[in-house]
Structure 1
Amino acid sequence: MIVRIMGEGQVEVAESHLTELNRLDDELLAEMQRGDSPGFRRTLHALLERIRELGEPLPDDSLEPSELILPAPDATLEDVRKLLRDDGLIPG
């Protein structure tokens, strides 16, 4: 699956990693609901770092359709709330 991290580019991540990524996404959603800004920041960075570790960056000149769009590392709670679906940033 192709994941876009806003402000960074696209990464191809195997769908076999979705369960692990969803655990971080669930934690991020819970922290947002509690208004836990430090926890939110820590988990957002952990989620993005894990995607970078697991994924293969696409060339900068490649414009593939993104299946997931994730916020930039400096996104605020409010920025991320605008991107959320009922089940978090990552479906499933």
Structure 2
Amino acid sequence: MIVRIMGEGQVEIGAADIDVLNELDSELEAAIESDDETEFRTKLHALLDKVRHVGKALPDDSLEPSELILPPADASIEEVREMLGDTGLIPG
């Protein structure tokens, strides 16, 4: 799966890592639902850090279509709330 972190670039994520990312996504959703800004910030950074860690960075000149777009680390809770779908930021 090709993932874009807004403002950073693209990474390729293996199927084996999706479950861990979904767990972090669920924790982020819970923080958003409770309107807990501190917890939201912690969970957003944890999700993005995990994507960066398990993902293989694609070259900057790569034009692969992104299957998933994640917010930047400095996104507001409202901006991320607007990006959430029925299954969170990460489907599955």
Q: Determine if the TM-score, normalized by the shorter chain, exceeds 0.5.
A: yes
Residues 22-37 of structure 1 correspond to what in structure 2 (within 5 A)? 22-37=22-37
Please give the alpha-carbon distance, in whole angstroms, between the structure 2 residues aligned to 1:63 and 1:74.
24
Please give the alpha-carbon distance, in whole angstroms, between the structure 2 residues aligned to 1:36 and 1:22.
20
Q: Percent identity?
A: 60
Please give the alpha-carbon distance, in whole angstroms, between the structure 2 residues aligned to 1:39 and 1:6.
21
Question: Any gaps of 5 or more consecutive residues in structure 1?
Answer: none
| CA shift for structure 1 position 61 | 0.4
- How many residues of Structure 1 are paired with residues of Structure 2 in the alignment? 92
Deviation beyond 6 Å, 4+ runs, structure 1:
none
- C-alpha RMSD over aligned residues: 0.5
Asked if 1:12 is matched to 2:26, the reply is: no
Asked if 1:66 is matched to 2:44, the reply is: no
| CA shift for structure 1 position 30 | 0.6
Which residue identity is paired with 1:32?
I
Which residue identity is paired with 2:61?
D
Structure 1 length-normalised TM: 0.98
Q: Deviations over 1:2-37 (max 9, x none)?
A: 000000000001011110000000000011000011
Structure 2 length-normalised TM: 0.98
| CA shift for structure 1 position 81 | 1.1
Q: Deviations over 1:42-82 (max 9, x none)?
A: 01000000000001100000010001100000000011011
Please give the alpha-carbon distance, in whole angstroms, between the structure 2 residues aligned to 1:63 and 1:4.
11
Which residue identity is paired with 1:38?
T
Question: Any gaps of 5 or more consecutive residues in structure 2?
Answer: none
Q: For residue 44 of structure 2, give the secondary structure of its aligned residue in structure 1.
A: helix
